[in-house]
Amino acid sequence: MQIQLVAIGSHGDVLPILALGVELTRRGREVVLAAPAPFAALAARAGIAFHALGTPVAYDRAIRHPDLWHPRRGVSALFAQVSDLTEETYEWLARRGRAPETLVVASSLSLGARVAQDKLDLTVVTVHAMPLLVESRHAAPLLPGFGLARLAPSRLRHWIGRGADRYVIGPAALPRLNALRARLGLGPVRRLRHWWNSPSEVLLMFPDWFAAPQADWLPQVVQTGFPIVDHLGDTDTLTPELTDFLERGPAPLVFTYGSAMRQGQRFFATAIALCRRMNRRGVLIVPQGDQIPARLPDGLIQVPYAPLSALLPKSAALIHHGGIGTVAQALAAGIPQLIVPVAFDHFDEGERVRRLGLGATLSRRRFTPARAARALDSLLGSPEVGRRCRDARSRMAGENGVSSACDRIEAMIAA
């Protein structure tokens, strides 16, 4: 059986699906990955056949959109990019896929795969990498732009989410999606966050101790564990300069604001001031150097990319945006994290980390050197936080989310 992998989004969306491809290939399966064009090099390095969706120019234009990282307006900017790739994804699958010889494994935003399932009767496995994407009345996630909602009962948060479906997500995503479906002779989608779940199987790539299963989850939902996939990024080793930096002094603070962020100047300016205030060394992971000064103070180093599984065990704490993949890397390393959420799932991940006693959150407005220093001093000085972080590291060591997910995929092939 052919396995077609589809991933739409940034590194946090694509790398988990790429990791599934690597593991399935190791098991002797034939796979091909369709993803935004800039990820061709990563697929080639991993030895995975690749089909480019869109162009590098279009991808770069999308991630530079000024509204992309706004807590509310970001949804419209995101689904403009997704809509551009939906029909292209469907057409690619229509050319390649024939039921029952084809199994499609698709990330949350790969809406063209769901269209292909409805039109062509392909078997599709939906992969959700973050708890935000799973609806529940009993444990509703925290949506971006509704920070005070964390104090509200779960049912109220759930209805806030239903309102977001109707007034924010629907208007941004459904017009172009339903226009495509109409051309294909399919009925309209009424609510995206329900329809995007494959009726065949939905894999949740996060463990039950991070997001407990709920009685009102869909029956086809299966939880695996976190995918630790940073080794599939730009490099799987630390640079000699960074290795030398780590060896020449105490464990540093590490700062990252996500691979796709192009508006991190204020975050990194605060990071530099924070290190000076706390008299701590710092590593700034900044893909684009124009977000930081050309010359950094002593005790700081900038790198465009570093595999966190190699860097974080040698670090004191991680300060970041709250992407689920970055959260998982800090948990695996057993270090505390301070989350400064931006948009999308960041607020929900930050709240989960805070509730588990593994870190703290500060809003972008409150992320100042003084407040961040107090938060980090509290985290780093707390024996209880240290114990909880070590427990999380032990749990992570006993899990393999990628392998577990591939077990489920192969079980569907055998069924």
Residue the block writes with tokens 């990498």: 129
- The answer to whether 230 and 309 have CB atoms below 8 angstroms apart is yes
Amino acid at 277: R
Interval 49-69: pLDDT, tens: 999 999 999 888 887 777 777
- The answer to whether 161 and 143 have CB atoms below 8 angstroms apart is yes
pLDDT given at position 281: 98
- Cα separation, 358 vs 305, in Å, equals 24
**How would you label 30-62 residue by residue, b for 16+ Cβ within 10 Å and e otherwise?**
ebbbbbbbbbeebbeebebebbbbbeeeebeeb
> Nearest-CA neighbor of 87 among 194, 14, 17, 181?
181
Alpha helices by DSSP H, listed for 7-47, are: 11-26, 40-46
Interval 344-367: pLDDT, tens: 899 999 999 999 999 999 999 999
260, pLDDT greater than 70: no
> Nearest-CA neighbor of 305 among 279, 282, 287?
287
- Cα separation, 49 vs 30, in Å, equals 9
CATH 3.40.50.2000 fits 237-397, yes or no: yes
Terminal alpha carbon distance of the chain? 12
pLDDT grade for 409, boundaries at 50, 70 and 90? very high
Tell me the torsion sign for CA atoms 137, 210, 260, 11: negative
Residue 17: phi and psi, rounded to 5, are -70, -40
Cis previous bond, 100, omega within 30: yes
Interval 216-256: pLDDT, tens: 999 999 999 999 999 898 888 999 999 999 999 999 999 99
Amino acid at 375: A
Q: Which CATH number fits domain 2-226+400-414: 3.30.200.20, 3.40.50.300, 3.40.50.1100, 3.40.50.2000?
A: 3.40.50.2000
* Predicted model pTM: 0.93
pLDDT grade for 147, boundaries at 50, 70 and 90? low
Return contacts of 116-124, CB within 8 angstroms, 24+ apart: 116/89, 116/90, 117/198, 117/200, 118/181, 118/186, 119/90, 119/94, 119/184, 119/185, 119/186, 120/93, 120/94, 122/93, 122/97, 123/99, 123/200, 123/412, 124/198, 124/200
Residue the block writes with tokens 């569907």: 412
What residue spans in the chain does CATH classification 3.40.50.2000 cover?
2-226+400-414, 237-397
CB neighbourhood size of 415 (10 A): 8
- Cα separation, 77 vs 80, in Å, equals 5
Q: What percent of the chain has pLDDT over 90?
A: 76
- Cα separation, 219 vs 125, in Å, equals 14
Residue the block writes with tokens 């399935």: 24
The mean pLDDT of 84-100, rounded to a whole number, is 89
H or E element that contains 162: helix 154-164
The mean pLDDT of 165-190, rounded to a whole number, is 94
Interval 275-300: pLDDT, tens: 999 999 999 999 876 778 878 999 99
